[in-house]
Amino acid sequence: MTEEETIPIEFDEAMFGRNVSTSLLREDIMRCMEMREIGSRQILVYMGYLYKYLKETNRAEYVSFVDPNKIPAAQDGSTSSQHIANQLKASNGDSICLIPYNTGGVRTYLCMRGNPKRPTFKQLTGNLKQQGCVECGYCVMRYMKEIVECEDLQLERKFAGCVKNQYYTQTQYDDVRIEWSEFVYSYLK
């Protein structure tokens, strides 16, 4: 693949409720293959893999996705919070919503629901941690994989038993990198 070539990837419209596509650059692929820091484009592609898995297992209606590339950056978080709130409002209220975004809260969504005091969702905690400085994106992908593969919808039970300061292994990161690579490869055929 040359520096100028791209791999166009189009996602199922049902995944985000609208047409979403991206193009991977050679650099995007090299970052993942060399276990370098990755960004939202690579995470978006992995979300496509997870959605495909959910469709194949007839569980796609249980999970909603928010496109990480469409969460605008704002210094105070207000624009980002509004976008996330809009995505949550459009999602299936009974589904697990994967939002690969580092945010401190979603009060805007709660206010839109008319209930600013009592959360109508749970943020999962207790997942394994990253040990170094480049694993953040891989850690997010691995955590999403564990959520999607869990057939018990009471996810807080699954993650409640995680030991503090327990880390993902390189093998666990490699699992998601392989799945990511196979999904990308399917677009080359």
Provide the domain limits for residue 69: 6-186
Q: Tokens for 34?
A: 């060399």
**Would you mind telling me the total number of residues written for the chain in this entry?**
189
Q: For residue 56, is it within any domain?
A: yes
Q: For residue 30, is it within any domain?
A: yes
> pLDDT (tens digit, 9 = 90+) per residue, 164-185?
667 888 999 999 999 999 999 9
Q: How many folded domains does the chain comprise? A: 1
Q: For residue 1, is it within any domain?
A: no
Q: For residue 54, is it within any domain?
A: yes
More confident residue, 73 or 159: 159
- Taking the model in full, what pTM does it have? 0.80
Q: For residue 68, give the DSSP letter.
A: G
Residue with tokens 């293959």: 33
Nearest to 61 by CA among 97, 25, 114: 97
Distance CA 137, CA 28 (A): 12
What is the pLDDT averaged over residues 152-159? Answer: 67
Residue 180 CB coordination number (10 Å): 22
pLDDT band at 187 (very low <50, low <70, confident <90, very high): very high
Return mean pLDDT, the chain: 79
| Least confident range of 1-15, 54-68, 126-140, 149-163 | 149-163
Percent of the chain with pLDDT over 90: 35
Q: Tokens for 154?
A: 């009471």
- Residues in a beta bridge with 10: 21
pLDDT reported for residue 127: 59
Distance CA 26, CA 113 (A): 43
pLDDT reported for residue 179: 97
Q: What angle do CA 44, 48, 54 make, to 5 degrees?
A: 135
pLDDT reported for residue 1: 83
Q: For residue 154, is it within any domain?
A: yes
- Residues in a beta bridge with 63: 96
Q: For residue 117, is it within any domain?
A: yes
> pLDDT (tens digit, 9 = 90+) per residue, 110-149?
445 555 544 455 555 555 666 777 788 898 899 899 888 8
Residue 90 predicted with pLDDT over 80: no
Residue with tokens 């409720």: 17
| Residue 11 belongs to domain with CATH number | 3.40.395
Q: For residue 102, is it within any domain?
A: yes
- Residues in a beta bridge with 11: 20
pLDDT reported for residue 128: 62
Q: Biggest alpha carbon distance in the chain?
A: 53
Written as one letter, the residue type at 144 is: M
Nearest to 70 by CA among 81, 82, 83: 83
pLDDT reported for residue 126: 55
Which 3 state secondary structure label does DSSP give 116? coil
